[in-house]
Amino acid sequence: QVQLVESGGGLVQPGGSLRLSCAASKFTLDNYAIGWFRQAPGKEREGVSCISNSDGSTYYAYSVKGRFTISRDNAKNTVYLQMNSLKPEDTAVYYCAAEPQRFMTVQAMCAYRSFLSWGQGTQVTVSS
């Protein structure tokens, strides 16, 4: 069974940075596309960034492009989301998700939330 554990969330001031980690157990991450999603109170869960396992291609939501960077360390079986220049509107619970990439681009997987395995989430709060 796929298990994912997020960490690295917390309280940060506007303009600050955080690095989220998504660690996998009981399976090898490099066989899966990985996505980072977030959900703010009263809003739908949205795709923030996704990364392919086949060609390393990435997708970023327009709202985070240029500020967030997704990366994977297969040796550590971990995917990261580096978040810089954080804004109050980035406040949300952040989830990572995994799914073998078959026929969809990572952009489509992010847009349609085409992931079956999800972590429990980590809270990110951006506030002064």
pLDDT at 62 over 90: yes
pLDDT at 38 over 90: yes
Q: Which residues pair with 59 in a beta bridge?
A: 50
pLDDT at 36 over 90: yes
CA–CA distance, 10 with 19 (Å, rounded to integer): 10
* 77 in Cβ contact with 8 (< 8 Å): no
Model confidence band, residue 26 (pLDDT cutoffs 50, 70, 90):
confident
- How confident is the model at residue 17, as a pLDDT? 98
CA–CA distance, 107 with 34 (Å, rounded to integer): 11
Give the gyration radius of the chain's Cα atoms. 13
With H, G, I as helix, E, B as strand and everything else as coil, classify residue 46: strand
Name the phi and psi angles at 32, rounded to 5: -130, 145
Model confidence band, residue 74 (pLDDT cutoffs 50, 70, 90):
confident
Name the phi and psi angles at 8, rounded to 5: 105, -5
Say which residue, 74 or 121, is predicted with more confidence: 121
What's the rounded mean pLDDT across residues 64-82? 95
Model confidence band, residue 65 (pLDDT cutoffs 50, 70, 90):
very high
Alpha-carbon 2 to chain mean position: 16
pLDDT at 1 over 80: no
Model confidence band, residue 98 (pLDDT cutoffs 50, 70, 90):
very high
